[in-house]
Amino acid sequence: MVEVVGGSTVPAGGEMTLRGKRALVTGAASGIGHAVALHLSGLGAGVTFSDLDPARLAVVTRGVDGARAIAADLSDPVQVERLAREAGPVDILVNNAGLQHVSPIESFEVEKWDRLLAVMLTAPFLLTRALLPAMYGRGWGRIINVASVHGLVASPYKVAYVSAKHGLLGLTKTVALEAAARGGNISVSAVCPSYVRTPLVETQIVDQARIRGIAESDVVEDVLLERNAVKRLIEPEEVARAVGFLCADSAWSMTGAAMTLDAGWLAH
């Protein structure tokens, strides 16, 4: 037996399901995005996986019920708008795609700055602008921006990443206010994890060791986990479960909020 609650369904046993919903997850070929896409699929949503590499997308969507794959370079606004057209209609948008470049600001290439801001701030803006009106029309929607603890605080040598993630939280709050004024069950929120065990984090280790003049083996403990109260990397699946929670009707009050998963970083 299934009880209908708002826009989602809750089986008699109480477990949420997203059956009948369509989700778009960017950066879904690996890391957090892949875990989120699989988790939402497991909850019953039909998920569109988007990432840069079509071959990798073909691999990660194989055998996933209801999955679609759309390759797009999110640094290109034309491709972002194409992605929105091909993916729609979408009930759940997860803006997750990201990249990193570690460098002192005086040697931080403008091209790197432009690409990071395009992928992590402009693309979420464009996708939200394109997909939100149909959510208004249906009276239900979830926009979840995967930010970072670096959307709330800063670390050296990451000027573009930190700037983009701070901007993403500003986008989250602004759109949440606009959506609330339109009524319906539409929420816009962000998740802000500290370091997660992903390829993006692993590629930072060499750069951090070089810039700081320390051994690569010391980077995780002395740099990545330095501010964590709990000295553990977060697993992608743990972030995915937080995203799943924000999709529930019962999470409506989280709109405009930044959910921190920071292992005690901000408690200091």
Helix axes 77-87, 123-138, angle to 10 degrees: 20
Locate 154 and state its tokens.
Answer: 């800063």
Q: Which long-range contacts (CB under 8 A, 24 or more apart) does 83-86 make?
A: 83/24, 83/26, 83/50, 83/127, 84/126, 84/127, 84/130, 84/131, 85/130
Query: Does 136 participate in catalysis according to the annotation?
Result: no
Do the beta carbons of residue 40 and residue 47 sit within 8 Å?
yes
Question: Looking at 136, 157, 161, 195, which residue is catalytic?
Answer: 161
Query: Who's near 240: CB < 8 A, 6+ residues apart?
Result: 32, 35, 36, 38, 39, 40
Q: Classify burial at 187, counting beta carbons within 10 Å of its beta carbon; exposed 0-12, middle 13-18, buried 19 or more.
A: buried
Q: What angle do CA 185, 191, 194 make, to 5 degrees?
A: 170
**DSSP letter, residue 235:** P
In angstroms, the CA 232 to CA 215 distance is: 19
Q: What angle do CA 180, 181, 184 make, to 5 degrees?
A: 55
In angstroms, the CA 174 to CA 172 distance is: 6
Do the beta carbons of residue 46 and residue 21 sit within 8 Å?
yes
Q: How many CB atoms lie within 10 A of CB 28?
A: 31
What residues are labeled active site? 161
